[in-house]
Amino acid sequence: MAPQVFFHCYPTALGHCGIAWTERGVVGSPLPEETPSLTRDRMWVRFPAAREVTAFERLPVAVQAACEGVRALLAGEARDLLEVELDDSAVPAFDREVLALTRRIPVGQTLTYGEVATRLGHPGAARAVGRAEGHNPFAPIVPCHRVMGAPSAGKAANLTGFSAAGGVATKLKILAIEARATGQQAGEQQDLF
């Protein structure tokens, strides 16, 4: 029998985030939506049998800490969120490898899909890495926004295809916040702008 999933919606500097968990850890954390109702709808679609916990003080301590960590990151603190316990048991094996490496990319740094593939020992698997990042259920706890396409058309990085609410604009906002948090100019990570 599958464990009971719970979820909570909470405000951040960039909008309303959600977090879903079981007794094993966080199972979902989508990037911010503009309104609480959009976040709630997204959580119900992903976790139709979940129970919503509306009061922050009723969340497990570890989930409260995860929410506070995401809030701090999106408000401009250089937080890596490595302390957040994830339950990735429903994530395919290759995707787990990709997300584990992505999770270790330091705040203020970026990699390309090809660099992630190469570091995993799968050179040439950039598209598979992109697919795994696109299905990341743990953003921004697993910072898929720090991974992008290879340079093209005179730019140092290709920022197309970000699937979160707000698309590439959201990715750029988070990267700019992280750049400031680490004392960089926006886009300094890879001359993104």
Residue (of 137, 133, 144, 7) closest to 67 by Cα position: 7
Task: Using alpha carbons, select from 108, 110, 106, 165 the residue that is nearest to residue 139.
Answer: 165
Active site includes 144? yes
Q: Which residues contact 67 (CB under 8 A, 6 or more apart)?
A: 8, 10, 17, 19, 56, 59
Residues in the chain: 193
| Three-state DSSP state, 137 | coil
| Residue 187 backbone class (left: φ over 0; alpha: ψ -120 to 50; beta: rest) | left
In the set 9, 17, 67, 144, the catalytic residue is 144
Cα–Cα dist 191/95, whole Å? 27
- Active-site residue set: 144
